[in-house]
Amino acid sequence: MSTPLAADARLARFAVSRSRRRRDAIARASILAGTVIALIPLVLIVYYLLRKGLGAWSVNFFTTDPTGNTFFGSSGIGGIKSAILGTIEIVALASAIAVPVGVGVAVWLVEYGRASWFAHTVRFFVDVLTGVPSIVFGLFIYIVLIVGTGSTYAGYKGSVALSLLMLPIVIRSAEVVLLLVPASLRESALALGAPRWRVIFNIVLPTALPGMLTGVLLAIARAAGETAPLLFTAAFTQNTNFNLGGFMNSLPVQIYKDVTSPTTAVVNRAWGAALTLVVMILLLNLIARLISRRSRLA
Amino acid sequence: MLARSPLARLPDRALKYGLTALAALILALIVYFFIRLVGQARPALAKEGVFGFVFGNNWNVGAEHFGALPLLVGTLITSALALLIGVPVAVAAAIYATELCPLRLRAALTLLVELLAAVPSVVYGLWGIFFLAPKLQGAEQWVADRLSFIPFVGGGLVTIPNYFITGLILAIMILPIVSAIAREVMATVPDDHKEAALGLGATRWEMIRMAVLPYCRSGIVGGAMLGLGRAIGETIAVTILIGDAPKLGHHLFDQGYSLAAVIANEFGEAQGVHRSALFAAGLVLFVLTLLVNGVARMLVVRAARGGGRGAGGVEKAPAGGQLLADAAAGA
Residue B317 DSSP symbol = P
Between CA B279 and CA A228, with CA B86 as vertex, the angle to 5 degrees is 30
Answer yes or no: do A156 and A31 share one domain: no
Residue A1 pLDDT exceeds 50: no
Among candidates A139, A228, A267 on the partner chain, residue whose Cβ is nearest the Cβ of B279: A139
CA nearest B206 in A: which residue? Answer: A24
pLDDT level of residue A276 (50, 70, 90 thresholds): very high
Residue A287 lies in a domain: yes
Q: Is B121's CB within 8 Å of A123's CB?
A: no
B172/A112 touch (CB, cutoff 8 Å), yes or no = no
Residue A74: inside a domain: no
pLDDT (0 to 100) of residue B180: 92
Domain CATH code at residue A133: 1.10.3720.10
The model's confidence at residue A210, banded by pLDDT at 50, 70 and 90, is: confident
Q: Which residues of A touch B33 (CB under 8 A)?
A: 140, 143-144
Among chain B residues, CA nearest to A14:
B201
Would you state the pLDDT for residue A280?
A: 95
Residue A66 has pLDDT above 80, yes or no: yes
pLDDT given at position A48: 93
For A118-132, what is the mean pLDDT?
Answer: 89
* Interchain proximity B95–A31, CB inside 8 Å: yes
Mean pLDDT to the nearest integer, A35-47: 94
Residue B59: strand, helix, or coil: strand
* CB-CB under 8 Å, B268 with A44: no
What CATH fold (topology level) applies to the domain B70-330?
Answer: MetI-like fold (1.10.3720)
Q: Is the pLDDT of residue A184 over 60?
A: yes
Alpha-carbon gap: A249 to the closest alpha carbon of chain B (Å): 15
Of A119, A128, A277, the CB nearest to B120: A277
Q: Across the interface, do A27 and B205 touch by the CB < 8 Å criterion?
A: yes
| B-chain residue closest to A130, CA distance | B328
| C-alpha span between A293 and B109 (Å, rounded) | 17
Kindly determine whether residue B123 and residue A49, on different chains, have CB atoms separated by under 8 Å.
yes
Residue range B133-142, pLDDT digits in tens? 999 999 999 9
What pLDDT, on the 0 to 100 scale, is given for residue B276? 94
Report the Cα–Cα distance between both ends of chain A, in Å, rounded. Answer: 56
Model-level pTM? Answer: 0.90
Q: Are B142 and B293 in contact (CB under 8 A)?
A: no
Per-residue model confidence (pLDDT) at position A131:
87
> What's the average model confidence in pLDDT over A201-210?
92
Residue to substitute from B4, B119, B121, interface A, most A β-carbons within 10 A: B119
Nearest CA in chain A to B179: A38
Enumerate the domain spans of chain B: 70-330
C-beta atoms of A172 and B19 within 8 A: no
At B330 the pLDDT is 42
> What are B147-191's pLDDT values in tens digits?
888 877 777 788 899 999 999 999 999 999 999 999 989 988 999
Residue A131 lies in a domain: yes
Give residues with Cβ within 8 angstroms of B225, minimum separation 6.
B292, B293, B295, B296, B299
* Mean pLDDT score, A23-31: 95
CA distance to A188, A189, A201, per residue, from B8 (Å)? 20, 17, 16
Q: Which residues pair with B65 in a beta bridge?
A: B60
Could you tell me the pLDDT band of residue A4, with boundaries at 50, 70 and 90?
A: low
Say how far apart CA A233 and CA A249 lie, in whole Å: 11
- For residues A285 and A166, membership in a common domain is answered with yes
Q: Taking CA atoms, what residue in B is nearest to A15?
A: B201
Residues A262 and A149 in one domain: yes
Q: How far is A296 from chain B (nearest CA, A)?
A: 18
Q: Please identify every stretch of chain B with a pLDDT value under 50, giving residue numbers as ranges.
A: 307-331
- Looking at every residue in chain A, the average pLDDT score rounds to 89
Q: What is the mean pLDDT of residues A234-259?
A: 90
Q: Could you tell me which residues are beta bridge partners of residue B66?
A: B59
d(CA A65, CA B303): 51
The count of domains in chain A is 2
Q: How confident is the model at residue A296 (pLDDT cuts 50, 70, 90)?
A: low
What is the chain B residue with the closest CA to A212?
B329
The whole-angstrom separation of Cα B145 and Cα A215 is 49
A19 C-beta neighbours (distance < 10 Å), count: 8
The torsion angles phi and psi of A16, rounded to 5 degrees, stand at -80, 130
Q: Which residues of A touch B285 (CB under 8 A)?
A: 133, 135-136
Whole-number pLDDT of residue B114: 86
Q: Domain of A124?
A: 81-294
Give the number of other CB atoms < 10 A from CB of residue B239.
30
Q: Do A176 and B326 count as a contact with CB atoms less than 8 A apart? A: yes
Q: Where are the beta strands (DSSP E) in chain A?
A: none
For residue A196, give the nearest of B12, B23, B282 by CB distance. B12
- Kindly report the nearest CA distance between residue A122 and chain B, in angstroms: 7
Confidence of residue A75 (pLDDT cuts 50, 70, 90): low
What is the number of alpha carbons within 13 Å of residue B159 lying toward its C-beta? 16
Q: What is the pLDDT of residue A289?
A: 85
Higher pLDDT among residues B147 and A9, named by residue: B147
A·B CB contacts under 8 A: 258
**CB-based contact B211:A29 (threshold 8 Å):** no
Alpha-carbon dihedral sign for residues B233, B237, B243, B244: positive
Of A45, A134, A140, the CB nearest to B235: A134
Backbone φ, ψ for residue B66 (5° rounding): -130, 90
Strand, coil or helix: what is B65? strand
